[in-house]
């Protein structure tokens, strides 16, 4: 099972402000849904793993994220929801996904936030790729993406990701894929 990260960052590496995403890009949200839902085996689905604050930042009407197994990392509370599991740590989530029935049901694991979960996932031995939407503008943020170490990750192509710079709502952005070397 491959561990991938998906994130959108402002040019100052900001990823959030006061529990929300400071920008609205429908194209980026559509790419997020496409990537995190796509499986090569139609009998499987993907898991999305997030911290409790990321879970709480998703509008209630959109929780859990559809067609994906949602895993919320929290040592404080159990999330009681259909198609949602709570684990105390990223490592316990990884161990759980390596056991039946999940071993036979899950194809890929997507880390969707927040900053501390991204940092831990980037250092995990199963980390494969980081999909970053680079927003070419600064936004006021209070949560930031850890730096991607160029000695550990290199740029690669992915046919599922658009090439070049796009613009929406007056905001320019591009998507880059970094693979662990």
Cβ atoms of 81 and 68 within 8 Å: the answer is no
d(CA 63, CA 145) in angstroms, rounded, equals 23
Say yes or no to pLDDT of 80 above 90. no
- Residue closest to 45 by CA, chosen among 64, 19, 28, 22: 64
pLDDT in tens, 32-47: 999 999 999 999 999 9
Position 83 confidence tier, pLDDT thresholds 50, 70, 90:
confident
Q: How far is CA 165 from CA 46, 91, 128, in A?
A: 28, 36, 24
pTM of the predicted structure, to 2 decimals: 0.96
Angle ∠(35,148,113) on CA atoms, nearest 5: 50
Domains and their CATH numbers in the chain: 2-180 (3.40.430.10)
């Amino acid at each position: 099972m491959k561990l991938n990260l998906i994130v959108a960052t402002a040019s100052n590496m900001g990823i959030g402000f006061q529990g929300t995403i400071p920008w609205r890009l429908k194209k980026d949200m559509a790419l997020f849904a496409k990537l995190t839902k796509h499986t090569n085996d139609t009998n499987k689905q993907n898991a999305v793993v997030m911290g409790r604050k990321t879970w709480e930042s998703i509008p209630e009407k959109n929780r859990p994220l559809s067609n994906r197994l949602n895993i919320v990392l929290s040592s404080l509370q159990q999330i009681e929801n259909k198609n949602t599991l709570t684990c105390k740590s990223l490592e316990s989530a990884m161990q759980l996904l390596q056991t039946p029935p999940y071993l036979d049901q899950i194809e890929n694991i997507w880390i969707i936030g927040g900053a501390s979960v991204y940092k831990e996932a980037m250092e995990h031995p199963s980390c494969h790729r980081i999909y970053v939407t680079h927003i070419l503008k600064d936004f006021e943020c209070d949560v930031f993406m850890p730096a991607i170490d160029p000695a550990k990750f290199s740029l690669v192509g992915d046919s599922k990701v658009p090439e070049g710079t796009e613009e929406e709502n007056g905001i320019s952005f591009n998507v880059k894929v970094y693979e662990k070397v």
